[in-house]
A and B are shown apart, each in its own frame.
Chain A
Amino acid sequence: MPEVDASFLALPRHELAEAALQRARDLGATFAEFRLERIRSESIALRDSRLENAQDDEDLGLAVRVIHDGTWGFAAGVALTEDEAVQVAEQAVNMAQVSRPINAETIELADEPVYADVTWVSSYEIDPFSLPRAEKVALLTDYSDRLLGADGVAHVSVHVASVHECKFYANSAGTSYTQQRVRIGPEITAFAVDAESGRFDSMSTCAPPAGRGWEYLTGTGWNWDEELAQIPGWLAEKMAAPTVEAGTYDVVIDPTNLWLTIHESIGHATELDRALGYEANYAGTSFATIDRLGTLKYGSPIMHVTGDRTAENGLSTVGYDDEGVAGQQWDLVKDGILVGYQVDRRMAKVNEERLATPRSNGCAYADSSGHIPIQRMANVSLQPAPDGPSTEELISRVKNGIYIVGDKSWSIDMQRYNFQFTGQRFYKITDGTLDGQVRDVAYQATTTDFWGSMEAVGGPQTYVLGGALNCGKAQPGQSGAVSHGCPSALFRSVRILNTTQEAGR
């Protein structure tokens, strides 16, 4: 089990927190919280097997948020001195005072037990920042070479993002924790160009970003050898594939594609801040409004979706959130009905009766010390059927359909009704078996229609934990990493577009 990095523990975290919290108390804050965060990030990019970019960054700073006269105030700074901590606390109180005249709501928070001086570290084996750059570049160059040397591959791009996040949190109620999380996101893409027609296309690895270390790149949790060996053939088949005939098809969606549909149409739609209108000017609202909690038919009765901040290797997995709430798991959709939301402590308090629980489920997150904590997404996952079918069995139930693998393009409206997705590979299904790739495919649906058309979910053997490193939300914009687990699933009568026709060609 890895331990918290010694150089982070060497920072005067308790002293800074005490100075800031004491100053906030002295100025009359009824609640105050302090964060010290250090985020290391590395980005390595190869283009046609040559190193295009390698960058090593570190963001280190502190933040104070207060409730003063019933109003939030937030400020952040960069110098790690007690003077700075005191000054940032003063700025946060000042911000609350300036904001007081236009705040119509007295801020109160849901209760949470106190966790005193606890430590939590995410599950990984090899800290990517502990390895020499050259060793990492050498492995990625090997992966790139395997594709670049293959027939029909004109170009290859490789990008790996690694993040090492250390946080110290303390609040005026007595909670304090030190938390370390590691995550990694590899993307490898092969490109083909047909010199005669000018047509080009690409095929990317389906390996999702994960709450893992460098061991992920060497085969723990993903079979790189197998996938890299297949990509040139898949790409060649896609280049030669017939264009799809637009229409209505039954579709089997692989978890490498379905995770993103879950993210957009369930993950964001069950964020309570969206449902309450707090994101109306930016990310948008949600059709799944709180008056429909317990009654909204989200999908077919086999649909069971959970929120969690506890899944091993999950990107949103934490010990404690940015309001000092412990990680939990709960239901969002059960038997096809909306039964829960993702909340923070303020929303939990305001909506305590409707949510039928007095506690936050721990979804507060700020992407750095410079940003305010907001409600961010838990790992939102579609549960498999305990004795459910394999992907092949699902395909066998389709007479004329399409099997969709890997994510690519995505878009959904501001209330999370109308979405459109493409993918990496689309296979025609004829009489229950795969019948070669087709191209130019997009699927388009309305959220509740789509989930209502879900006839079967696969078993645990089809389950994959997908995810994204850079989910955007809020103003100022914040980036969040989140995982979504799901099985393969079968949907009846889904609208398939031909993207070439959509372009008017």
Chain B
Amino acid sequence: MTTAIQLTSQDTVEQGLALAAAEGADGCVVIVAETSSTNLRWANNTLTTNGAMRGSSVTVIATAGAGEGTAAGVVGRSSVTDASLREIVSAAVATARAASPAEDARPLVDGTTGADWDLEPEETTVGVYEKFAPALGETLARAGHENRWLYGFADHQVVTLYVGSSTGLRLRQALPRGFVTATGKSGDLSQSAWVGAATRDFTDIDAHAIDAELTRRLGWATRTVPVDAGRHATVLPPAAVADLTTYLYWCLDGREAFEGRSVFAKPSGGTRVGDVLSPQPVNLRSDPLLPGLETFPFAVARSSGGSASVFDNGLTLAATDWIRGGRLESLMTSRHTADLIDALAATPSVDNYVLSVDGASGSTDDLVAGLDRGLLVTCLWYIRMVDPQTLLLTGLTRDGVYLVENGEVTGAVNNFRFNESPVDLLARFTAAGASVPALSREWGDTFSRTATPPLLVPDFNMSSVSQAN
């Protein structure tokens, strides 16, 4: 066995940068991510799988060819030793030298050493479930006695990032991400309900409260009513709005719009920045410092594409208004694509957003209370692009669609397939509530830092009935 030495994150960065300089690279960025995670998964009222995982990843981005157009070489590994780091840096530099100039090449981001640079990675352990796991066990036992079925997943991870560059940048940031999703089914499996929530540390997750909400919803389903496909007045709760808004968020790429192949392209050329998308005062805003939705405040790109550029690593992420007062304010860009489309500054993607409507208050229950007849959806699923021209998405309702009559939930109805564009929905909704942290059913596993309002859509397009229950 060799005597390879495992390196600390900081040493990996410093040695990587020194090796790149010794190899004659023009510039270098080293990204180290230390991740620990722990999860519990249950189904049919019993625990099914679990895990405690630690992982690390090291990405070396070397640049070469300054003067004639700079190229980048990117090499990533799940872990390194002093010996393998040398090989990785060599490979990155050699790749950069052999590559043609990169279109997105820009000077690497300048910076200094952050105050917390020397701190070790933070870590999570199974202990994060100290209170949650026993309570979950109690709800699983109770569900068995009360003839209903519980299924779910709890995940907690901590990522500590170290980003260093040959231009002096030394950034460190540790962030937790956690969430729980829970499905309840009636004893005969004919009815389903769902609850989900994001959390930073599980101290705010109450297994008994989740079970109580699932039980309340399954109670709504003791009466079932068939409803045909068609356009229905529909209350979308914050989780379902997040399902749709996250897809819209991912389609805000500036270059695609500039090139005429996005819903945000102007038919006559150029982008729709400045266009009014909604007659309502709708805002879509990202900010790394949003309370409760805090995320990494600097750009981290292990690959280039769309609004991401490896040359932009470490770029400060500012608060960004994507939509303000119903008007499209900005699209996602790297420094390169910002120049390309004549944007004032680069506005890369941020790992959070708040969708809000000025002046809106109240909850999903309040929207239900104001509805004469319509549907209340729980969440949406299997959402896919049908037509990028209109951002037409298809997908399904899942785990609970309820009939609302005279302001009250009066029973459960069948599921539907929908075909809808979230851009159109922003123009068509007629009532909204206050924005609250909400976990998207479909995308929340990876994009959980979202806050959305409940919306009432007068004519949501339920294209056909789904027999799923």
Interface residues of A (CB under 8 A from B): 12, 15, 43, 45, 47, 50-61, 71-79, 81, 91, 94-95, 98-99, 101-105, 132-134, 137, 154-155, 191, 193, 195-200, 202, 276-282, 284, 287, 370-372, 374, 409-418, 420, 422, 440, 442, 444, 446, 475-477, 495, 497, 499-500, 502-505
Contacts and interface: CB of A to CB of B under 8 A. Distances in A.
A199 B387 CA distance: 11
Given A444-B464, A497-B463, A503-B387, 6 more contacts: A78-B78, A200-B261, A279-B43, A413-B468, A420-B417, A503-B392
Nearest to A77: B54
B266 A198 contact: yes
Name the residue among A75, A282, A410 with the largest chain B CB count within 10 angstroms: A282
Contact of A102 (B53, B133, B259, B461): B133
A76 B53 contact: yes
B317 interface: no
7 contacts: A57-B77, A78-B54, A198-B266, A280-B183, A372-B49, A414-B381, A422-B386
A198 B390 CA distance: 11
Contacts of B140: 102, 104
Interface string B23-52: 000000000000001011111111111111
Contacts of A495: 464
CB-based closest 3 A-B pairs: A198-B267, A415-B468, A104-B46
A155 B255 CA distance: 12
B222 interface: no
Interface in B384-441: 384-390, 392, 394-396, 398-399, 415, 417, 419, 421, 424
Nearest to B37: A476
Contacts of B6: 79
A285 to B, nearest CB: 8
Nearest to B265: A198
Given A61-B79, A191-B261, A281 B467 contact: no
B381 A58 contact: no
Contacts of B421: 503
B181 to A, nearest CB: 6
B47 A103 contact: yes
Given A59-B78, A133-B99, A278 B39 contact: no
A440 B387 CA distance: 8
Contacts of B151: 277, 280-281
A198 B415 CA distance: 35
A476 B157 CA distance: 11
Nearest to A286: B468
B190 to A, nearest CB: 11
Interface in B192-245: 192, 194
Contacts of A15: 1
B153 A282 contact: yes
Contacts of A475: 39, 41, 153, 155, 181, 445
Name the residue among B45, B50, B417 with the largest chain A CB count within 10 angstroms: B50
B417 A444 contact: yes
Contacts, number: 272
Contacts of A476: 37, 39, 51, 155, 445
B74 interface: yes
A74 B50 contact: yes
Contacts of B152: 281
B8 interface: no
B77 A60 contact: yes
Contacts of A91: 52
Contacts of B305: 45, 47, 52-53
B419 A502 contact: yes
Interface of B: 1, 6, 37, 39-56, 73-79, 91, 95, 98-100, 102-104, 126, 133-134, 136-137, 140, 144, 149, 151-153, 155, 181-183, 185, 189, 192, 194, 259-261, 265-269, 302-305, 310, 381-390, 392, 394-396, 398-399, 415, 417, 419, 421, 424, 445-446, 461, 463-469
B383 A411 contact: yes
Name the residue among B78, B303, B392, B461 with the largest chain A CB count within 10 angstroms: B78
B424 A55 contact: no
Nearest to B39: A476
Contacts of A103: 46-47
Contact of A280 (B75, B185, B388): B185
A54 B95 contact: yes
A51 B47 contact: no
A415 B327 CA distance: 39
B255 to A, nearest CB: 9
A409 B56 CA distance: 34
Nearest to A72: B49
A154 B396 contact: no
A74 B415 contact: no
Nearest to B196: A281
A195 B392 CA distance: 21
A64 B301 CA distance: 32
Nearest to A472: B445
A418 to B, nearest CB: 4
Given A281-B153, A499-B392, A504 B461 contact: yes
A370 B387 CA distance: 36
Contact of A370 (B46, B55, B386): B55
Given A77-B54, A477-B445, A200 B98 contact: no
B419 A102 contact: no
Contacts of B43: 277-281
Nearest to A38: B78
A281 B137 CA distance: 17
Contact of B52 (A75, A154, A413, A504): A75
Name the residue among A72, A197, A411, A412 with the largest chain B CB count within 10 angstroms: A411
B79 A413 contact: no
B78 A60 contact: yes
A446 B51 CA distance: 37
Nearest to B71: A51
A19 B288 CA distance: 44
A99 B140 CA distance: 13
A289 to B, nearest CB: 9
Nearest to A417: B467
A278 B269 CA distance: 49
A200 B192 CA distance: 40
B463 A95 contact: no
